[in-house]
Amino acid sequence: MANVSKTFESDLRNEFNTAEQVYISFEDENCNNVEPNNATELAITIIQSEGDNIWERYKLPKKKLVDLKWVMNKINKDKVYESFAKDFKKILDGADLKDNFSLYPTTYGIGIHVVFSNEPKELMKTVNRILTENDIDFRTEYSEAHWVFRYVISKSEVNIKRMGEI
C-alpha cells in the first residue's frame, strides 16, 4: 500500500490556497474511496479562478513517500508534455503534416506508426529535418514490436525552449 505523508492533504491545499476548490481522493484499484495508506491511486482536481485547472490521476508508489514534492513533480511533468504537444502541433502545421494520423506527440517525444503509414520513410526524413534544422537534441529507436519509430526528445530546459521557438 501507499506511504502517504501525514501532512500531504494540508500541504497540497496550502500550495493551491488561491484555488476555488481542491478535491483529493485516495482510491483502491476498484475506484472506491479508501484511507490514504490503503490507496493504490490518487485523484486530484484543482479548480482555479485564473490559470489552468488540474484534473489528474496517479498510480501511487508502494515504497516512495507520497508528499507535496512527489505530486508537484508529477503535475509539472504533465505540464511539460502538454506544452510539448502544443509546440509539436505547430511544427506539424508548419510542415503541412497536421492531418497525418501516423505522426503523433508522446510523453517521450514523437511517434510514427510505421505499420499503418503509407510513407514512413518520408515522414522520418521530414521529422529528422525539422528537428536537426532547429538544433533539437533527440535519439531514435523502434518500439519493441517495430510498429512505431520513436524520436525520443531530450526534456532539457534548452531543448523544450527550442521546441517552443520553432
Report the chain's mean pLDDT, rounded to a whole number. 83
Contacts 24+ apart (CB under 8 A), 71-80: 71/8, 71/12, 71/42, 71/44, 72/15, 80/155, 80/160
Produce one character per residue of 120-155: b if its CB has 16 or more CB atoms within 10 Å, e if not.
Answer: beebbebbeebbeeeebebeeeeeeeeebbbbebeb
What are the pLDDT digits (tens) for 119-138? Answer: 788 889 988 998 898 898 99
**Lowest-pLDDT range, 34-38, 80-84, 141-145?**
80-84
Grid cell in block for residue 98:
497536421
* Mean pLDDT within 146-161: 84
Grid cell in block for residue 34:
479508501
Specify the pLDDT at position 80. Answer: 65
pLDDT at 67 over 80: yes
pLDDT exceeding 70 applies to what percent of the chain? 90
**Where in the chain are the domains?**
3-66, 78-165
pLDDT at 65 over 70: yes
Q: Which of 12, 79, 76, 14 is nearest to 26 (CA)?
A: 12
The structure's pTM equals 0.52
8-state DSSP, 147 = S
